[in-house]
Structure 1
Amino acid sequence: MKKIIFILLVIMLQAEAEPQTSIKLIASLDGEIHSLKEQIIKNGGTPEEYYPNKKYIESHYPNASEEKKRQLMQKYGRADSKSGIFMGINAGYGSLFNDYIDGHYNQTTTTIDDLKNQRTGVLNSPLKLQSNLYMFGGKLGYQSFFNPYFGARIYGDAMISTGNIKNKDDGTKIGSVIYMLGALNLDLLVEMPLDRRYRYFVGGYFGIGFGAMILLDSADKEKMKPLLKDTSYSSDNVLWNTLLQVDYTFNAGVAFTINTKNRLEVGAKIPWNFLRLGLESPAKYQNASGDSKTLESKDIEFKRSVIWTASYIYLF
């Protein structure tokens, strides 16, 4: 909580300091512009104002009055000031679920009795596991506003977390997990100004993300014994040595922009599909005699919940 308060104080102080810095910078630039105008006049030229969007406005609004065109140039100039490279930090919270049913894959995919009745026979099942995780990470990308109200962004983000694995039936901690999620995202942005100077905005975003996740788990061997059919077997892992799969996400949230450059977001990464790549290694159980039993990965169903996120983003 102290860290959050500190970050908010820094943002507020920066918000107060930036107008003064901007005024000094504008005054300096005005002096340089005035000097350049005088040099152009001395050389027999006529200085003209430059607007990056002038050609676009002239071609799309040919019948507009000069005053209307000037207003449009200012409006699109504000959109340009909200475009550029950005970097941010993320915090999040979500849950992971692993459900294991010994022999489930063979029972549902074959009609051959011998295969249908095959079991690994190492864990009592069904076994339902859950991990509630706090996550941290960052993002980097580029955003472009078409006008002061609508824009789009493309960016990569990554989050990492560690936490406990618990048996959902009795809440017993039986191990720990490391979870990483990275994605390439494309979002649409919507903002409405809160002041006439177009420095403060409230809005939202929605989009999609395509990424990958990796999960590594570690077993508490003593706590795992009640879950074993034969306690002479043990493993360093609970269900997974490694699990790597594609993660498809809907992104959505609300945002508040301070002084154009600072953006606070609260949102969600909503899973809508997963794709296993076959790059997975289930847990391997062994006994003192060297006998081993490896879990069938397709007997394990992995899911994740919505990941709720809070972000601070700075626009360069």
Structure 2
Amino acid sequence: MATNSISKTKSKVLTRTFGALSLALLGLGSGIASAEESAVFAGVEVGYAASAFENKITVSATGFNQSQSAKYSGDGVKYGLVVGYKQFFTPHFGLRYYANVSLHHAELKSNTVARDYGWKTKVNGTLINYGGNIDALVNFVANDALDFGAFLGVGVGGMTWMGKDLDDHEDYAQSLNSAWSLTSTGLDVALNAGVRLGVGDRHGFELVARIPFIKTTLLDESGSGVIQGAQVNAKLVNYLSHTYAITARYTFSF
């Protein structure tokens, strides 16, 4: 009888223990299921960005060839919007697909060459950046309260530069040759990287670095003429580049 009683007691203990473990595992599973989920999202960002401009002119004639390049660099505020969809295949890995549009206001200052040749020593411009992006998302921490991880991806789109100083520069180019004009829009291919923190189901906070790879060729023109009986050739090349950007971003998942 005592043996049967002990066996029944052990059986009850094992049953209760198994039940407790089952509930714990169910709770853990529930926590995993409620980690970051696939969703549509939108966000805003603001931060710092740097850009550069190069104005290069080459003049050649018989027995003469001279080239001068004025380089400008500077920085300014950047702000923008993102909207897209994030898709998680596991609590720790997913992809997101999104569109971005941003504005970057920059004041670019030159080296001494611009001053020596009477060119502008400052160029102010506004960059509009737009395109599509895909990022890989990795969560190092994924639970009910928060998600923390990193992302790495690529963006492809366009960059359009505008501003009075660029209009003035086009006037300068046309003073050399009336057929010359600036192309203010170019291809943008950039690396996206950063860290991200998700709080609850809705709110996300990110530190984002974006590094574009391609310069925008504003002008690449050649011309020739006769000056004092000599054939003179001139070539003017202008580049604008968005060097990098670092922004803080807030996202809301629907």
TM superposition score category, shorter chain reference: 0.5 to 0.7
User: Structure 1 residues 127, 315: closer, same or farther in 2, change over 3 A?
Assistant: same
User: Structure 1 residues 165, 144: closer, same or farther in 2, change over 3 A?
Assistant: same
Q: Output the amino acid matched with 1:314.
A: F
Question: Which position in structure 2 is the counterpart of 1:4?
Answer: none
Deviation >4 Å, runs of 4+: 66-73, 116-119, 170-173, 280-283
**Which residue, out of 184, 192, 202, partners 2:132?**
184
User: Structure 1 residues 220, 73: closer, same or farther in 2, change over 3 A?
Assistant: closer
Corresponding position: 1:308 with 2:246: yes
Identical pairs, percent: 20
Structure 1: tracts of 5 or more residues without a match: 1-65, 108-112, 235-239, 284-294
User: Structure 1 residues 274, 102: closer, same or farther in 2, change over 3 A?
Assistant: closer
Conservation of the 8 A alpha-carbon contact between 2:216 and 2:240: no
Higher strand share: 2
Query: Separation in 1 of the partners of 2:235 and 2:49?
Result: 26
Question: Which position in structure 2 is the counterpart of 1:98?
Answer: 53
Q: Output the amino acid matched with 1:306.
A: Y
Corresponding position: 1:271 with 2:227: no
Structure 1 position 217, deviation (Å): 3.5
TM-score, length-normalised on structure 2?
Answer: 0.67
User: Structure 1 residues 241, 220: closer, same or farther in 2, change over 3 A?
Assistant: closer
User: Structure 1 residues 82, 88: closer, same or farther in 2, change over 3 A?
Assistant: same
**Which residue, out of 27, 38, 41, partners 1:83?**
38
Conservation of the 8 A alpha-carbon contact between 1:157 and 1:184: yes
**Which residue, out of 189, 192, 199, partners 1:251?**
192
Query: Separation in 2 of the partners of 1:264 and 1:117?
Result: 58
**Count, aligned residues:** 210
Structure 1 position 262, deviation (Å): 0.6
SS in structure 1 opposite 2:33? helix
Q: Output the amino acid matched with 1:154.
A: Y
Structure 1 position 210, deviation (Å): 0.5
TM-score, length-normalised on structure 1?
Answer: 0.55
Question: Which position in structure 1 is the counterpart of 2:78?
Answer: 135
Q: Output the amino acid matched with 1:307.
A: A
Q: Output the amino acid matched with 1:155.
A: Y
Structure 1 position 184, deviation (Å): 0.4
Structure 1 position 130, deviation (Å): 1.8
Which structure has more relative contact order (CA 8 Å, sep 6+)? It is: 2
Query: Separation in 1 of the partners of 2:57 and 2:44?
Result: 41
Higher helix share: 1
Q: Output the amino acid matched with 2:30.
A: Q
Corresponding position: 1:218 with 2:164: yes
Structure 1 position 173, deviation (Å): 5.2
Query: Separation in 2 of the partners of 1:274 and 1:300?
Result: 10
Deviation per CA, 1:78-103: give whole Å up to 9, x if none.
Answer: 25x62110000011322111122212
Structure 1 position 202, deviation (Å): 1.2
Query: Separation in 2 of the partners of 1:193 and 1:95?
Result: 33
Structure 1 position 304, deviation (Å): 2.4
Following superposition of structure 1 onto structure 2, how do residues 101-112 of structure 1 map, counting pairs within 5 Å? 101-103=56-58
Conservation of the 8 A alpha-carbon contact between 1:83 and 1:142: yes
SS in structure 2 opposite 1:219? helix
**Which is greater in Rg?**
2
Deviation per CA, 1:178-201: give whole Å up to 9, x if none.
Answer: 11111200001111336xx52212
Query: Separation in 2 of the partners of 1:93 and 1:271?
Result: 14
Conservation of the 8 A alpha-carbon contact between 1:75 and 1:147: no
